[in-house]
Amino acid sequence: MKIAIMGAMPEEIAPILEKLKDYKTTNYAGNKYYEATYNGIELVIAYSKIGKVFSALTASTMIEHFGAEKLLFSGVAGAVSPKLKVGDLIVATKLAQHDLDITAFGHPFGFVPEGSVFVEANKALIEMSKQVAKEMGKSVVEGIIATGDQFVANEERKNWIGSTFEADALEMEGGSVAVVCDALGVDFFILRAISDAADMDASFSFDEFLETSAIESAEFVMKMVDKIVLSLNKN
Ligand code: SAH
């Protein structure tokens, strides 16, 4: 079994690399990919750089070039739901691209022909995350994540994304990674820890909480890996 763990920024995968210590680094397609053996399974880890294009490239590379069979994303996000506070964890049930717009042709936001507005994440991995949350004594919210090539620091835009997609959180990579994994038939799981509220103060909040929220998310994702290893050993 080979599992991909990806983030968008160095801070999002640093806690994972720190935990592994020993890994092989490969330069490929303008990025660094880190490979390691962990508890008898193989891991490939990378940060993509920010946004939908880079994250789609990295997810595709991890699957097609490195042979990843499952993909776990760890990172930070802006909260849309007022229930989500800085440091809280959200697991995506489904994801949409909030900046995809051919509504001039009568299509809904986030839709292109032969695509779909939402891509659903793997249900078994979401179930597994509930157990992990319980064992860690953490609460993890399940919700809809909206993705776009914009850092949202604007109440109006945030509320529009919330009402149009019923989104609970927003970020810049999950929706594109979801499209790639869905097309290539790879189970995926998108976890985000809240770094800001996507409002006027978002950039300050982001800078302040990026590191601590990224650690929250990375720790949880590594526990997910442990759980996957356990379930493989049982079968
Ligand atoms: N500080 C960075 C830019 C960060 S962009 C720099 O100057 O280089 C924000 C990143 O965190 C993206 O990867 C995105 O997925 C996530 N994110 C967190 N809060 C967000 C918000 N309010 N809007 C959009 N993306 C957000």
What are the mean pLDDT values of the chain's consecutive 10-residue runs (235 residues total)?
98 97 95 97 98 98 98 98 98 98 98 98 98 96 98 98 98 98 98 98 98 97 97 86
Residue linked to tokens 């038939």: 185
Structure tokens at 104: 């001039």
Q: Which residues pair with 161 in a beta bridge?
A: none
Predicted pLDDT at 208? 98
Helix (H) or strand (E) holding 94: strand 89-97
Q: Whose CA is nearest to atom 20 of ligand 1?
A: 78
What is residue 235's predicted lDDT score, i.e. its pLDDT?
72
Is residue 195 in contact with ligand 1, taking CB distance under 6 Å? yes
Residue 158's pLDDT is what?
A: 98
Q: How many domains does the chain have?
A: 1
The structure tokens listed for 137 are: 């004594």
Q: What is the CATH classification number for the domain harbouring 141?
A: 3.40.50.1580
Q: What's the CA-to-centroid distance between 171 and ligand 1, angstroms?
A: 7
Catalytic residue among 11, 173, 196, 216: 196
Give me the residues paired with residue 140 across strands: 89
φ, ψ of residue 152 in degrees (nearest 5) = -85, 115
196 is catalytic: yes
3-class SS of residue 35? strand
Domain extent at residue 77: 2-234
Among the residues of 68-154, which ranges form H helices?
A: 123-136
Task: Name the residue at shortest CA distance from atom 18 of ligand 1.
Answer: 77
Q: DSSP alpha helices (H): ranges in 118-172?
A: 123-136, 155-165
**Model's pTM, two decimal places?**
0.97
CB-CB neighbours of 9 under 10 Å:
16
pLDDT confidence of residue 34 = 98
Q: Which atom of ligand 1 is nearest to the CA of 202?
A: 22
CA–CA distance from 82 to each of 152, 162, 164, 199 (Å)?
15, 11, 16, 11
Task: Specify the pLDDT at position 84.
Answer: 98
Task: Enumerate residues 6+ apart whose C-beta is below 8 A from 159.
Answer: none
